[in-house]
Each structure stands twice: as C-alpha cells, then as structure tokens.
C-alpha cells in the first residue's frame, strides 16, 4: 500500500491538471462519473494515503489501496476504476477506491493527524496514544487516526531508529521514548519523500526487509506482529521491549 509520501508525489505529478476542466470521465468505480464532467480542478490535496481532487461542488477521494496504480496518457489494457480526461492529458486510476465527498473537507479530515501536513500536531498524537495504553506500538504507528500516512515501512524504520521493540505496549513506553517516536514520525516521512523522489528509498532502509542489524551485526527477527499482523523486522538486542 503506498504510504503518505508516495501520495504527495502523486499530487505533485498531477499539478498540470490544476485549474483544468474535466472534459470526460468514466470507469467502473461506484460513483456517478457524469457529475465530474465540466467541473474544474480547483485544488489537489492529500490526507494520509488519500488523494483529494477538489472540484467546485465536491471532492473526489482516491485511495490506492494495496495494489492501486495510475498512469497519465498511457492507458493499460485493463479497465480503469476511473479516468479523467482533460484538454492537456488523461489520468487513469486502476484498482483503487474512489468516493465523492460533498461535505467541507475540514469536517471530514483531522489535518492535525497527517504526519506530512503543516497542521500536524504532536501533542494531539500523544493524547491519542495515551488513551490506548494497551495497544501495541506496532499497531499504534499504523493507526491512521493517529499517524495518517504512515505505513509498515514507517513502523519498522521509526521503531528501529528509536530502539523500541514493536510488541511494546504504548502505556509501558517511557514518556521520553514515546516523545522520540512521535517526533521521529514526520522526520522519517520527509526523509522517505526525499529518498523516494531520488529513487534511493530502499538503499536507506535499516530494518525493513533486512536480515542483519546494522548496529549489532546479528540477525534481525522477522515476525507478523499485533492485530494488524503486518511484517515487523526488529533486533532483539537493541530494541527494548516495554511490557
């Protein structure tokens, strides 16, 4: 599943369509695509893993899910979930979830939860974490209500950077260590963005999918942890288990 920085890159790639009118729209997605025709893209935003195409009367939300793809002017053989045709090009989405939002976005989204948003609020994240003391930190870092945009790469890399075991309980993690985790989430988000743009993201992974701990030079553990059962890669020696 694409994480927040990848959606920010998508938003940047679509800037050529900002201010342009949708000439045609369609696809097998469960929306009334005709409502989109003749509407102008007034803005492009992201919230976590959601791309938000803002039109005068509604917002089109696109979620790439696990295997979503998009192309510009290069249609695939498969039928698109959604296509949007403009005078200067056509945008195609495949295997995505699409939804029309007619409410004010400020009523729908908590911008302070997005680790890449200018309104990101670390204090709010801490308050949400403290309300879930029995949650494992590996699940907490994937909770989009707390850390919108974070995914499994974030989880593994941030916990390795901060030396915390993924099966630690949130309520047992020392306050300073919890602060370090919260602080590191947006830091890693923008590192991710920089490396992704330079096509060197995987070269900078220290724990995710790795076999040897770069600090301890011993094998890393690969385990499916927490309620989410997502892959965790961690070091038994340098990542402390708080329980």
Is residue 199 located within the same domain as residue 119? yes
Give the chain's length. 243
pLDDT band, residue 58 (cuts 50/70/90): very high
Q: Is residue 243 part of a domain?
A: no
**How confident is the model at residue 231, as a pLDDT?**
97
Is residue 13 located within the same domain as residue 88? yes
Alpha carbons within 13 angstroms on the beta-carbon side of residue 80 total 23
CATH number of residue 94's parent domain = 3.20.190.10
The residues facing 70 across adjacent strands are 93
Q: Is residue 93 part of a domain?
A: yes
Is residue 70 located within the same domain as residue 140? no
Average pLDDT over residues 71-87: 94
Is residue 125 located within the same domain as residue 189? yes
Which of 75, 92, 108 finishes a domain?
108
Has residue 1 got a pLDDT over 80?
Answer: no
pLDDT band, residue 66 (cuts 50/70/90): confident
CB environment 99-118: b (16+ within 10 A), e (fewer) = ebbeeeeeeebbeebbbbbe
Q: Is residue 117 part of a domain?
A: yes
- For residue 164, the tally of other CB atoms under 10 A from its CB is 26
Question: Among 176, 178, 179, which residue's Cα sits nearest to residue 168?
Answer: 178
pLDDT band, residue 2 (cuts 50/70/90): confident
The pLDDT tens digits for 140-183 are 999 999 999 999 999 999 999 999 999 999 999 999 999 999 99
Contact 58, 35 (CB under 8 A): yes
Is residue 125 located within the same domain as residue 228? yes
- For residue 163, the tally of other CB atoms under 10 A from its CB is 15
Is residue 81 located within the same domain as residue 97? yes
Is residue 83 located within the same domain as residue 55? yes
Is residue 96 located within the same domain as residue 199? no
Is residue 27 located within the same domain as residue 131? no
Has residue 67 got a pLDDT over 90?
Answer: no
Which of 88, 108, 128 finishes a domain?
108
Is residue 124 located within the same domain as residue 185? yes
Has residue 127 got a pLDDT over 90?
Answer: yes
> Whole-model pTM?
0.92
Which of 108, 125, 158 finishes a domain?
108
CATH number of residue 182's parent domain = 1.10.8.50
Q: How many domains does the chain fold into?
A: 2
Average pLDDT over residues 35-41: 95
Q: Is residue 241 part of a domain?
A: no
Q: Is residue 18 part of a domain?
A: yes
Average pLDDT over residues 205-217: 97
Q: Is 230 strand, coil or helix?
A: strand
Q: Is residue 242 part of a domain?
A: no
Q: Is residue 240 part of a domain?
A: no
Encoding tokens for residue 185? Answer: 């989430």
- Domain range for 163 is 112-234
Is residue 39 located within the same domain as residue 121? no
Q: What is the mean pLDDT of the chain?
A: 96
Is residue 124 located within the same domain as residue 228? yes
**How confident is the model at residue 215, as a pLDDT?**
97
Q: Is residue 239 part of a domain?
A: no
């Amino acid at each position: 599943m694409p994480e927040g920085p990848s959606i920010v890159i998508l938003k940047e790639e679509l800037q050529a369509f900002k201010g342009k009118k949708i000439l045609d729209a369609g696809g097998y997605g469960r929306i009334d695509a005709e409502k989109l025709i003749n509407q102008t893209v007034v803005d492009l935003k992201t919230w976590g893993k959601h791309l938000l195409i803002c039109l005068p009367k509604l917002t089109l939300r696109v979620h790439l899910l696990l295997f979503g793809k998009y192309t510009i002017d290069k249609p695939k053989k498969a039928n698109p979930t959604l296509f949007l045709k403009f005078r200067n090009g056509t945008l195609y989405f495949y295997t995505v979830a699409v939804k029309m939002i007619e409410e004010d976005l400020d009523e729908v989204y908590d911008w302070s939860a997005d680790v890449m948003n200018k309104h990101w609020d670390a204090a709010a994240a801490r308050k949400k974490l403290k309300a879930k003391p029995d949650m494992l930190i590996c699940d907490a870092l994937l909770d989009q209500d707390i850390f919108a945009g974070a995914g499994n790469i974030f989880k593994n890399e941030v916990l390795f950077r901060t030396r915390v075991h993924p099966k630690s309980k949130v309520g047992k993690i020392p306050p300073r260590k919890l602060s370090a985790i919260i602080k590191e989430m947006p830091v890693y988000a923008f590192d991710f963005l920089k490396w992704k743009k330079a096509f060197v993201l995987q070269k900078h992974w220290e724990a995710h999918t790795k076999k040897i701990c770069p600090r301890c030079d011993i094998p890393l553990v690969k385990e499916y942890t927490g309620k989410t059962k997502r892959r965790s890669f961690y070091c038994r020696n340098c990542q402390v288990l708080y329980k």
